[in-house]
Structure 1
């Protein structure tokens, strides 16, 4: 009979379909990283509820602060910031011990993370030791090795549904080719994923973080190479109107952000400052325009940098507050945090927790 021949064939086809559906894809690890902060479809940062997250916050130099900047985090909360980029180094001067050089440990980092999360601020943890590195191929692996140290990793993985890891701050002084910089970051991403990191990883642009063009050519390749497609691309917009090492007109700035928007990538201005300090001279940046464009394009921005409460010697021309207090905000710092249509206070939205 015809039916006796058809049924075995149908059963065989059904088994093939089921086996194909059950087969694990090589490019999709068996990890549901979307239960926390994650990059959605390689395009934008989202929280665990699937809401788009636009970072609005500041940089805080924790390793230069007394008590590791815990007081400053309380003051930053008053801006309404939804994120803080925490500046870390492998060693710091412990002012509670007379400035003794002390290793940064997981135990030291954990209170920073829990404090930020309790205040509704996403911790963006970055390693500052390799800023302006002359050889990213040798130095970026050193940064990766620090993140994968047992005591650091155990704390970071504990909170990784709620944090962002910025592998290294500006780990290139402009000497690396695009291919070299891409390959160094690919190696670092692979090492962190193999170590169990599933959280969003933030990559700084080359050439002191300023070369946004790198992401236009290499951003998609980096994203595709990450098995979780969970990367953020950070540009440090030290683009002064008239600088010693480059001039950026309003038209240049508009074109730069237009190009970044057209890339379709998740972009953050990881450092947005009022000026570029070159040889001790402050060359003004049209930061207000950058804030406006970030708001229009859905880009995050993190102002550089907050300021210090018990260590005024660490303050400089770019400190938003010279006493580490919200009430001490002044000049561009006051404008960025409060007195602008696109300020942190006016545009920051807290994430779903």
Structure 2
């Protein structure tokens, strides 16, 4: 058959238009079906997981992954860094995390944390820079679409004036990932520090979903103090399910500094609707929110009240988690062993506080460390910690505290007041070797 130029152009246009549609209909691995997440074979997958702060506690990951699985979870959300605020998570590290999740039959959501509070937090990364990071580690993601979800950036906008840019910048990041060949399911966080009190994500979700040529984007809300009533929880989730849009609760807690979230309704309603949830977080919290630790000091079975609630309570992880069908066969019994890094020994000098140092991560030319400061038998209003540094080692920056004199960190304006026995935590980046770093003294008043 001979086609005229007009007819040929029409056929070519039809074929080009059909490419995204066909691609969207058959994405590899985990994908969206209506408002649900399903596996390649169409089996629904409902996440019951927690978050692990790998970027600050990389030495704990090998112990944490099997411990989370042994506790009953079917999913793990892992905190990574694109190098803007914290030490960049390398491609090899990403591959190792993927392997550990697969070995323990967990669906793994990877997220860049540096975007947290962009527009309000001066040091935060853009979503565009986060997209560049995912492209740079593409080799660790390719072929893992059955097992790995990409959470582009954690809580990518604060409460600043740029919140209105959430839809356009999120859409642009999605398109950038797809145009560079990343086919994993994409998770996008809400603005307003993840809580979307302005309803920016809710009201623009359909347009952002349409920006993904694979039609494989899932929306994630973080439920803390904004969601302190049953009606708020139910209403927000219904706004997505009623429009056939996929939604998960990417973070939540049983307490928080901005209010008391209704965790009972969060867990009950997500169970009723078949929606995934991820609690924050396994261990390592500081800055006054230590109550969000699920286990104490990364102890595999040292469950806190929050850990007991989310794993063993009503609509908890143990009773509602189902292993992804991609793994097949019987559920493994993970081997949980203590971390190869011994727990640091607290330094208890004379004075009104004690300080506990631990190395979070290290590389050839530097390291990051954290110090937990605990008030003694009386409340304190200020504190300072002096560190002992070996020759050739220096502190280059600190967070959640004020660095002075090269080896001394004092409280920030917001974490100096500690009740008797209460704790807070600061972190720092060092140049040189972490070996031999210790706390010289802790003083308070």
TM bucket, shorter chain: 0.7 to 0.9
1:157 pairs with 2:142: yes
Which runs of structure 1 show a deviation greater than 4 angstroms over 4 or more consecutive aligned residues?
19-22, 29-33, 135-138, 176-179, 311-315
Task: Please give the alpha-carbon distance, in whole angstroms, between the structure 1 residues aligned to 2:139 and 2:61.
Answer: 22
1:188 maps to which of 169, 173, 177: 173
Task: Give the C-alpha shift of residue 323 in structure 1.
Answer: 2.8
Change in Cα spacing, 1:292 to 1:222, as seen in structure 2 (3 Å) is: same
Indicate if the aligned counterparts of 2:39 and 2:146 stay in contact, CA closer than 8 A: no
Q: Is the 8 A contact 2:116 2:125 kept in 1?
A: no
* Structure with more contact order per residue of length (Cα contacts < 8 Å, sep ≥ 6): 1
Over aligned residue pairs, what C-alpha RMSD do you find? 3.2
Contact 1:29 1:227 in 2 (8 A): no
1:48 Cα deviation after fit: 1.4
Question: How many residues align structurally?
Answer: 319
Which 5+ residue runs of structure 2 have no aligned equivalent?
A: 327-445
Distance in 1 between the 2:295 and 2:108 partners?
20
Say if 2:27 and 2:216, in contact at 8 Å, map to a contact too.
no
Once the two structures are TM-superposed, the CA of residue 249 in structure 1 deviates from its matched residue by 2.8
| Partners of 1:85 and 1:222 in 2: CA distance | 22
CA contact (8 A) 1:134 1:172 kept: yes
1:23 Cα deviation from its structure 2 partner:
2.7
Task: State the secondary structure of the residue aligned to 2:296.
Answer: coil
SS at match of 2:71: coil
User: Does the aligned pair in 1 maintain the 2:281–2:293 contact within 8 Å?
Assistant: yes
Q: Is the strand fraction higher in 1 or 2?
A: 2
State the distance in 2 between where 1:88 and 1:168 align: 10
Write out per-residue CA displacement over residues 3-54 of structure 1, whole angstroms, 9 at most, x where no aligned residue.
xxxxx9xxx9xx99xx69983415336587534111124x211111101111
Matched residue SS, 1:289: helix
CA shift at 1:222, angstroms?
1.1
After the TM superposition, which of the residue ranges 255-264 and 46-55 deviates more from structure 2? 255-264
Out of 203, 208, 230, which is 1:250 matched to?
230
CA-CA distance at 1:351 after TM superposition: 1.2
Q: Secondary structure at the match of 1:74?
A: helix
Counterpart Cα distance in 1 of 2:84 and 2:60: 9
Q: Is the 8 A contact 1:73 1:115 kept in 2?
A: yes
Cα deviation, 1:71-109, whole Å, max 9, x if unaligned, reads 01111001221111000113499xxxxxxx854211011
Distance in 2 between residues matched to 1:298 and 1:38, nearest whole Å: 15
What does residue 266 of structure 2 align with? 290
**Aligned mate of 1:79, from 68, 71, 78:** 71
Aligned to 2:41: 49
Q: Is the 8 A contact 1:64 1:314 kept in 2?
A: no
**Aligned equivalent of 2:32:** 39
2:224 maps to which residue? Answer: 238
| Alignment counterpart, residue 215 of structure 2, candidates 222, 229, 242 | 229
Q: Verify: 1:145 aligned to 2:132, yes or no.
A: yes
> Cα–Cα, structure 1 residues 329 and 168, in superposed 2: closer, same or farther, change >3 Å?
same
Q: Quote how far apart the aligned CAs of 1:69 are.
A: 1.2
1:347 matched to which residue of 2? Answer: 320
| Separation in 1, partners of 2:77, 2:145 | 15
CA distance in 2, matches of 1:316, 1:92: 25
Pick from 63, 67, 82: which aligns with 2:59?
67
Q: Specify the alignment match of 1:303 in structure 2.
A: 279
Asked if the contact 2:257–2:289 (Cα under 8 Å) also holds between the matched residues in 1, the reply is no
Secondary structure at the residue paired with 1:28?
A: helix
Check the 8 A contact 1:240/1:275 in 2, yes or no: no
Question: Which residue does 2:253 correspond to in 1?
Answer: 273
Pick from 165, 184, 193 the counterpart of residue 208 of structure 1. Answer: 193
1:303 deviation in Å?
0.4
